Structure 1
């Protein structure tokens, strides 16, 4: 294995797996697999990029560090030459963790400073300028992310936000230096390392900037950022002759389908509204979940009664509705109950023969795939930017799409089910 990724959630792992498998146009990417948690056995020999998906974004910082270091140890044992710590392109975290502590811990073990930190993903509207993160034309704290139920982002200055989480100083390489080319960027990162800056925010406003960053990062043992940071990295291994450049794996799984949505993002709510115009959709009443009257069996019964019609069940609401529910039931208790509901529902669906499963929401995706215990997933073709098709192995394969809440077009659910089936 050439490249190892430690991802702090499951949809983010799929996102960067897609980026690595796709590579730059005309060059191809790396043969990529996604692992659900830290594996206990070696990776398949043909895998060039391995993505270890953790559910560490919203847990205590110490636990996130321990899990990330365990993933690093396994990836080192697979022979990886370079490592990426992947977090969300909207830098989802709190002032008390987890991006800074994990980034510093990985850098300490690898003995490096001047480590790139770049959440930018211009393809989906995330850009970084003078250390400030934008979502399309809005600053991060004015984009709706300030209302995130778990990790509200109230400050767009990523350098300042990261400084709250780290022990050492945080650097910044502004856009002008990036535009001057990879040589200028490399020099700036070397200067930051000499000054004792472990993590260095690097501006990026378009894909050309990400390509420049990737070229400068070719010799770097560690990189941190969103999935966009990885788009030029396969080219480094191809140019060095270590990889030939592969195309997306063409796979298909036919059979019954289901959609589970646990995201309250505006994009997912719009996708659900679009899907409901021509498909059966059932809303989950959270109060009844907490009372125990909405059960996995009731959700499975709804989906089973609409086989072949792309049935969807969802929980979610406006940020105000979600905040009210969190206040009433407690944020952690509410999240645990909903995660358990979706996890058990997914497990029962697969046992009953569901072959294609689309899941929306990072926390929900983590709960579902952890419950299914599918092992390594092959990264297939792209459904929408940041969301690939995923395929389990074995005699009875399952096809998955794990969607971050804010990703995907309005007709994403239909597109995903068609792609998983090879259409």
Structure 2
């Protein structure tokens, strides 16, 4: 029922069991066209009906994933009653898409039991965990999650099976849930669902004859997910419906609403609008928990505390510097930290041991905040982190320290999250230096946000699938109008933190479902040509990391103005090559699959942009019926044709050796003899990943000077070195780099008429 004070009915209300999961659901609903606000605490009914009267969905960000069943008993019943009384058609307990939980911590079964006390009239609780948009799938009740494009069964997942708090040792979701609740459950598997909404509904009715309290639905693809959404929406017509599971619930309902007609009369958000602020009056955001004087404080959304309401929408801009705080110990976050440090971020590692007994915690937080402020004032982005990956020695050391102090090792997340929150607050309470902050770690985000005076968030754009950029509502001016990116440990690509720093709005996304890995790059003139019916030639560029993708865009625009360039990026490839010391069979298989994908996209040319994996491209040429151009073919051919003593500069042996082999093959084809001088800049790569780009450059220059004394030319084995071509050229001998030469080779091939 719609409150008389409300402009629109609330379609969906949800409680997120951690902060990043809460923003994941916020993203799904916002991109579907529903104006959605995420509250950081339980709002009042007056706030909901008067100050946010035009929203169609709302969320409440919680920390239940880190709570014991006793703590959940104290927190959740009031929240479930509020959701039910809000008039929302669907009320959702939102879990992580990897379902990580246990009987003692973050029990999903306990949450369902508590909800059933409020939502006692409904026939069953729908459980939806699969989210194809996030590469999460449930098949025959077994749950799978993808890492680097490869789906792993949950109990064999390289990260979740080793989660330090809730390791997932069971992939059968109902078996996993049975350890947490005595509620009866049933599965409607992928075969029982059939191929129509009617078949799905009939399958559910058959299951209900067994009187289950929970029904889990297999989810493999978007089409099946939409049918589940339709089923839930029909069930909600019987009365308020409580559902549990991941943001698959939001994606399912959104898919059904979009298929059935516009989700709302006027879309509240359009990704194609570059993600500006929403144009509505700023609500006062008072609640029973706030002081009596809160109504006189600055309106939420105001940055300087003087505005009477929100100004006209301002499109997000690239933010420099930014602050990142990370309590995540996932391997993905580890790669993201390394990438950020290699991209100019300054790293500050905290020692969780300083917070165990509490005696030095204040001094430690102040010291770290002061160091972060010093770097931020210089314009340097800062990343404060507690660990690098699940194998970090600090994890075991911290747990051991807690045990020795008579504390539970499960206090680790709380302790680190609160410490990072205090550091964040101390940085923000000074002179306003920041517009944007990123927080890594689902549990960490919850504790960090509790340290900041923020009452609500609203999405302004999407940085990565499952990670929206949000703008804050607050009465405390240091935290009002702040842009936040809250990410779970597994979310985002290797370059995520760099993207947060650079992000200035997205364009051209017409569907709410994010499509990872593929992005098109063409000029506005090319787009107009396409609209006019011109058939553009297509180049599919395959990258093993993000580092080269961005600088290559300018070369494409200059040299291939009449082409459609499609980019495929797999950040894990170069990481795996470096770790293994060379190309592995798994890397070879993935690369060949990407080349095949390019062919299926209609590529006229496939462009391999990484010298370390060039020999895989040679192998694929006999398998793919599309020309494959390697970025270093033209460069090495020129070196072999013109010079006798060739110096090869590289920062990794995995790039140096393939480049040397390619030069020798080019020389053999030309019937020439060449001498190759190794220029391995030992220590440069380590300096780069340690966040010392100046030291990297200095080592590379020293190596180049040594090689130049014995060579006629310097060949830059890595395309990313092209940025130093001018400095290296000052040494006094010719310097050859690959990016421009590689693109010119593609251009030449495209200009040759096909037979």
Contact 1:118–1:226 (Cα < 8 Å) also in 2 = yes
Any gaps of 5 or more consecutive residues in structure 1? Answer: 24-28
8 A Cα contact 1:400 1:420, kept in partner: no
Summarize the Cα distance change of 1:86–1:420 in structure 2 as closer, same or farther, 3 Å threshold.
Answer: farther
- TM-aligned CA distance change 1:348 to 1:57, over 3 Å: same
Distance 1:73 1:373, change over 3 A: farther
TM-aligned CA deviation for residue 48 of structure 1: 0.7
Distance 1:246 1:232, change over 3 A: farther
Distance 1:356 1:421, change over 3 A: farther
TM-score, normalization: structure 1? 0.91
Choose from 56, 66, 76 the match for 2:64: 56
Q: What per-residue deviation string (whole Å, max 9, x for no partner) do you get for residues 132-188 of structure 1?
A: 111222211111212111111111111111112122211001011334222222232
Q: When the two structures are superposed, what TM-score results if normalisation uses the length of structure 2?
A: 0.53
- C-alpha separation between the residues in 2 aligned to 1:105 and 1:191? 26
Hey, what does 2:492 align to over in structure 1?
408
Could you tell me how far 1:109 is from its partner in structure 2? Answer: 1.8
Which runs of structure 2 are paired with 1:296-335 in the superposition (5 Å)? 296-307=365-376, 308-320=379-391, 321=393, 322-330=395-403, 331-335=409-413
Greater CA drift, 127-136 or 241-250: 241-250
Distance 1:211 1:94 in 2: 29
Q: Determine which structure has greater relative contact order: mean sequence separation of CA pairs < 8 Å that are 6+ residues apart, divided by chain length.
A: 1
Structure 2 residue runs without a partner (length 5+):
1-9, 278-315, 404-408, 508-755
C-alpha distance in 2, partners of 1:190/1:155? 28
Tell me the residue number matched to 1:196: 211
Residue 26 of structure 1 corresponds to none
Contact 1:258 1:310 (8 Å CA) reproduced: yes
The C-alpha deviation readout for 1:313-332, integer Å capped at 9, x for no partner, is 10114434323431332313
Instruction: Determine whether 1:73 maps to 2:76.
Output: no
Indicate the SS of the match to 2:449.
Answer: helix
Matching of residue 140 in structure 1 with residue 162 in structure 2:
no
1:130 aligned partner: 140
Structure 1's 14 and 141: CA in aligned 2 closer, same or farther, altered over 3 A?
same
Quickly say closer, same or farther: Cα 1:317–1:9, change in 2 above 3 A.
same
* Structure 1 residues 182 and 68: alpha-carbon distance in aligned structure 2, compared to 1, 3 A threshold: farther
User: Match of 1:151?
Assistant: 166
- Count of aligned pairs between the two proteins: 418
Aligned to 2:445: 365
Q: 1:287 — aligned with what?
A: 353
CA distance in 1, matches of 2:64, 2:30: 23
- Mean Cα deviation higher: 394-403 or 247-256: 247-256
**Cα displacement string for residues 162-220 of structure 1 (whole angstroms, at most 9, x for unaligned residues):** 11212221100101133422222223233333422111111112222221211111123
Structure 1 position 118, deviation (Å): 1.9
Q: Which moved more, 1:151-160 or 1:133-142?
A: 133-142
Which of 198, 216, 225 matches 1:210?
A: 225
Q: 1:420 to 1:372 in 2, by over 3 A?
A: farther
1:231 aligned residue: 251
| SS of aligned partner of 1:178 | coil
Output the CA distance in 1 between the equivalents of 2:100 and 2:127.
Answer: 14
- Structure-2 change in CA distance of 1:68 and 1:189 (3 Å): farther
CA contact (8 A) 1:389 1:420 kept: no
Alignment root-mean-square deviation, CA? 2.4
C-alpha change, 1:209 and 1:323, in structure 2 (3 Å) is: farther
CA gap of 1:393–1:376, structure 2 versus 1, over 3 A, is: same
Alignment map for 1:209-288 (pairs within 5 Å):
209-219=224-234, 220=236, 221-234=241-254, 236=256, 239=260, 243-244=264-265, 245-248=267-270, 250-251=276-277, 252=316, 256-278=321-343, 279-288=345-354
Which of the two has higher C-alpha Rg?
A: 2
**In structure 1, how many angstroms separate the alpha carbons of the residues matched to 2:262 and 2:483?**
32
Q: Does 1:42 align with 2:47?
A: yes
Does residue 36 of structure 2 align to residue 32 of structure 1? yes
2:501 pairs, out of 374, 395, 417, with: 417
- Does the C-alpha gap of structure 1 residues 421 and 270 become closer, same or farther in structure 2, counting only changes over 3 Å? same
Equivalent residue number for residue 103 of structure 1: 112
Distance 2:355 2:181 in 1: 38
